[in-house]
């Protein structure tokens, strides 16, 4: 594998933006662009059986990754997988139940952390790395490949709560009252996540996105400690060990803390959620890194004039600097594929 060096200029539009260039019209991709809104995805998922089976079957995972590219010609593909394959690879039971979402056997004491073993990680995740290679071998020449993982804080919440949560009672209790044990879990996840992402890079990923979906639930001081700190360390190690590979952070719900996030983590790009005012992002975030976002996914459901007006506002605010068009979160299942096609036309059209 030949790594991009700091003296090599990227040619793919998506990577050029992450290297600090302004590209117009902007490159675009969508979070959850491979998903249930596409009939071909639903058909492929039927063949796989369970959701984890789909993630761990390279032939099918490659297929669903490529499906939205065939339809829409996005500038980047993102590996089809899930953030919870990492705790699964560390030895925790993970299942996806219809109507309930992810279910894990929760960590209940510090001894459970000691049983998280990285020795078998690579074997469990081998199908994911095979998927990365398969995608890389089948991408159009101008399309970039994004690898990804969940951020340590967000993954820790699932491991401590045993699944999704509304109030994060268990995770916050550990964070507030058992900081040493909580720090031990985060440190383990920093190490495991870094190894996982570097192996994705070694198999063909050209950029990395770190999803911190629950970053916005933390008080400011804890955000700095458990969101900024771990992501800064992962980013530092990726930049040191695989120079030229850009990192995008997505601390959803960070609000005004987005500014500290981009200044203190060293990320090359930041995904902003739909609540972030785009002109504020242009002034406070874009001078420090590329900005990615941030159309409300439900505007994509509605389509029409409301979507067109929002797209124009986003582009007018952010297109004078390094900018990647995306949503403020993932495509939702009720989205019409025709609305996605209309969105692509809006973004590809010169302002």
Three-state SS letters, 119-170: CCHHHHCHHHHHHHHHHHHHCCCCCEEEEEEECHHHHHHHHHHCECCCCCHH
What is the average pLDDT value for the chain, to the nearest integer?
A: 95
pLDDT of residue 8: 75
Please give the backbone phi and psi of residue 207, each rounded to the nearest 5 degrees, phi first: -155, 160
Instruction: Place 333 in a pLDDT band, splitting at 50, 70 and 90.
Output: very high
Instruction: Place 5 in a pLDDT band, splitting at 50, 70 and 90.
Output: very low
Pair 27, 325: CB distance under 8 Å: yes
User: What proportion of the chain, given as a percentage, has pLDDT over 90?
Assistant: 94
Instruction: Place 261 in a pLDDT band, splitting at 50, 70 and 90.
Output: very high
pLDDT tens track for 105-122: 999 999 999 999 899 899
Please give the model's pTM, rounded to 2 decimal places: 0.96
Calculate mean pLDDT across residues 153-163.
97
pLDDT of residue 9: 87
Pair 246, 18: CB distance under 8 Å: yes
Residue with tokens 């203190």: 264
Model confidence at 133: pLDDT above 50: yes
User: What proportion of the chain, given as a percentage, has pLDDT over 70?
Assistant: 98
pLDDT of residue 2: 33
List active site positions. Answer: 32, 36, 45, 82, 158
Number of Cβ within a 10 Å radius of residue 24: 12
Distance CA(120)–CA(113), nearest Å, equals: 15
Extract the tokens encoding 115. Answer: 């049983």
């Amino acid at each position: 594998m030949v790594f991009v060096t700091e003296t090599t200029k990227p040619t793919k539009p998506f990577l050029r933006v992450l290297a600090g260039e302004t590209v117009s019209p902007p490159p675009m991709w969508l979070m959850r662009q491979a998903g249930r809104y596409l009939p071909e995805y639903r058909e492929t998922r039927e063949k796989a059986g369970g959701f984890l089976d789909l993630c761990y079957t390279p032939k099918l995972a490659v297929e669903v990754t490529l499906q939205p590219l065939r339809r829409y010609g996005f500038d980047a593909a993102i590996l089809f997988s899930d953030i919870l394959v990492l705790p699964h690879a560390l030895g925790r039971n993970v299942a996806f139940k219809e109507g309930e979402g992810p279910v894990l056997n929760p960590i209940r004491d510090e001894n459970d952390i000691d049983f998280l073993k990285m020795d078998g990680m690579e074997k469990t995740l081998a199908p994911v790395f095979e998927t990365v290679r398969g995608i890389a071998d089948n991408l159009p020449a101008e399309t970039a490949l994004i690898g990804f993982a969940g951020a340590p804080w967000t993954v820790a919440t699932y491991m401590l709560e045993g699944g999704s949560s509304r109030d994060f009672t268990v995770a916050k209790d550990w964070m507030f009252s058992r900081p040493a044990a909580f720090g031990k879990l985060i440190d383990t996840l920093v190490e495991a996540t870094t190894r996982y992402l570097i192996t994705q890079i070694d198999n063909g990923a050209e950029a990395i996105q770190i999803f911190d979906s629950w970053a916005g639930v933390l008080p400011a001081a804890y955000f700095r400690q458990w969101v900024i700190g771990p992501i800064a360390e992962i980013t530092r190690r990726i930049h040191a060990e695989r120079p030229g590979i850009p990192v995008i952070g997505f601390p959803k719900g960070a609000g005004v803390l987005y500014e500290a996030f981009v200044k203190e983590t060293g990320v090359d790009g930041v995904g902003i959620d739909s609540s972030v005012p785009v002109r504020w992002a242009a002034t406070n975030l874009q001078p420090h890194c590329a900005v990615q976002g941030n159309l409300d996914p439900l505007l994509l459901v509605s389509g029409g004039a409301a979507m067109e007006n929002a797209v124009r506002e986003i582009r007018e605010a952010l297109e004078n600097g390094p900018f990647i068009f995306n949503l403020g979160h993932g495509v939702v299942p009720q989205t019409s594929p025709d609305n996605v096609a209309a969105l692509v036309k809006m973004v590809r059209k010169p302002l």
